């Protein structure tokens, strides 16, 4: 096979060396992506809440397109405390996508936990989803354990179920096992849990399945220790 040095149908680098041109294109794309992430992270500090919200959303979309946004984790962490709920929710979602794709978000676990009590109904669901993704990747969620315990009584069907799932992963970690079990036992002795159990409500059914799975993991962890 002959190596094609010149392609007269092309222009620029591609004319003289298609192989080099392809390598150049790959390098240029990496630079473009780094600049994109840098610019979006900068936009998270804009005075305009719409710009901040769009930037957080765009970072989530960038991850889904295969872009590494690890350099923006710090900016997204700060955005979790933004005064605008759309910014907070989009930042939490972007961090969920990021950790699902291998980005370490350990430093913002506590901030995500704080959002579980957010007044805006959409924010806690995004935050607890991000925490589930972090737990699935083996990220230490100890900074959010207390908040997860309180989230078990959330009125939405999603937040308590996902909070129980994160606590289930926490019990597999020796560092967080005791605290996670404590939160689950306190919740199961709460008046809310008793009342919902008597009604056999949808909320109770959602969470009891997740708790059952979490307690199963407790037993598995105890057997491994023994």
| 191-216 pLDDT per residue, tens | 878 887 888 877 777 777 777 777 77
Q: Are the beta carbons of 129 and 96 closer than 8 angstroms?
A: yes
pLDDT of res. 110: 96
DSSP per-residue codes, 134-170: HHHTT---GGGHHHHHHHTT-SSSHHHHHHHHHHHHH
| 111-167 pLDDT per residue, tens | 999 999 999 989 999 999 999 999 999 898 989 999 998 898 888 878 988 998 898
pLDDT of res. 33: 56
pLDDT over 70 percentage in the chain: 81
Cα angle value 154/157/161 (rounded, 5°): 80
CA distance 16 to 32: 24
pLDDT of res. 84: 96
| 3-22 pLDDT per residue, tens | 444 444 555 544 445 554 45
Chain centre distance of CA 59: 12
More confident residue, 45 or 183: 45
Phi-psi sector, 200: left (phi>0), alpha (psi -120 to 50), beta: left
pLDDT-based confidence at residue 48 (cuts at 50, 70, 90): very high
pLDDT of res. 118: 94
pLDDT over 90 percentage in the chain: 42
Residue with tokens 């350990």: 106
Answer whether residue 90 shows pLDDT above 90.
Answer: yes
pLDDT of res. 5: 43
Answer whether residue 28 shows pLDDT above 60.
Answer: no
């Amino acid at each position: 096979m002959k190596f094609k040095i010149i392609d007269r149908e092309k222009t620029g680098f591609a004319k003289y060396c298609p192989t080099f041109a392809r390598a150049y294109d790959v390098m240029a794309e990496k630079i473009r992506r780094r600049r994109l992430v840098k610019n979006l992270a900068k936009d998270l500090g804009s005075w305009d809440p719409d710009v901040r919200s769009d930037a957080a959303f765009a970072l989530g979309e960038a991850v889904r397109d295969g872009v590494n946004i690890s350099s923006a984790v710090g900016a997204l962490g700060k955005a979790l405390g933004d005064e605008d709920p759309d910014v907070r929710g989009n930042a939490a979602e972007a961090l969920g996508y990021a950790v699902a794709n291998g980005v370490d978000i350990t430093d913002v676990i506590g901030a995500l936990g704080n959002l579980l009590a957010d007044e805006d109904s959409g924010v806690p669901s995004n935050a607890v989803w991000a925490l589930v993704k972090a737990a699935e990747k083996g990220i230490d969620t100890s900074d959010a354990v207390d908040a997860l315990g309180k989230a078990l009584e959330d009125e939405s069907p999603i937040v308590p179920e996902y909070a129980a799932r994160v606590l289930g992963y926490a019990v597999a970690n020796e560092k967080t096992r005791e605290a996670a079990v404590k939160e689950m036992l306190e919740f199961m002795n709460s008046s809310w849990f008793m009342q919902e159990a008597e009604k056999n409500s949808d909320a109770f059914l959602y969470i009891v399945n997740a708790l059952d799975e979490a307690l199963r993991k407790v037993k598995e962890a105890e057997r491994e220790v023994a």
